[in-house]
Amino acid sequence: MIENPFLLDPGYVGMLETSAFRQRVYDKLSGLKLVSQAPIFLVMHVPTVVTVILGFTVDRKTFIGAGIWGGAVTVIFGIFVIVWLCDAPKRRRIHRLAWEGELVLGRLIACARKCYRGDIYKVEVQYEAATPEGKQVQGTQALERDDLLNEPLPPPGTPVLVLVLDETLYFML
């Protein structure tokens, strides 16, 4: 590994010698984690469960309202489950990239500050690297980097680290 490659995400500093960077890549790319949000739906079902258990002691309107609430929460939960299941192939590919991908040396093609949504400045980089099979891949990534707002950006040709699975899936650190 070379000294001081440009890292778009400075959070990888000190992680590259271990596999900790792989978990960070997976966490960044995997997105929505429905499993961690499941307790929210359980908490939302508490009024329904309590009302059903006490069904004989509450008035009819409260009982019907709790049933409607429970049905709505169940439908929303079902939609989240369907989205999560449909997203499974993408999560598997991201898992393979993070845990089976090879860290290769690439080079910076271009680096610029870009303004997103009017007030968010990000550093956008274009980079290229070679897959383990020798195929060239190019990509573009952007990340908010306030620490580089008044600093010079790295010039083209600067070495970068790219995690590569194949010619269709890669990610610059």
At 29-87, the pLDDT tens digits run 886 555 566 677 667 767 766 666 666 556 777 777 777 877 787 788 788 778 778 87
Find, among 30, 15, 27, the residue nearest to 103 by Cα.
Answer: 15
Query: 111 - beta bridge partners?
Result: 125
Within 10 angstroms of residue 76's Cβ, the number of other Cβ atoms is 12
Q: From 2.40.160, 2.40.50, 2.40.400, 3.30.70, which CATH number describes the 92-172 domain?
A: 2.40.50
Per-residue confidence (pLDDT) for residue 111, from 0 to 100: 93
- 19-41: per-residue pLDDT in tens? 888 888 888 888 655 556 667 76
- 85-94: per-residue pLDDT in tens? 887 888 889 8
The 8-class DSSP code of residue 9 comes to S
Q: What pairing do the DSSP bridges indicate for beta strands 102-116 and 159-166?
A: antiparallel
| Global model pTM greater than 0.85 | no
Q: What pLDDT band is residue 110 in, cutting at 50, 70 and 90?
A: very high
Question: Could you give the CA distance from residue 47 to residue 66 in angstroms, rounded to a whole number?
Answer: 7
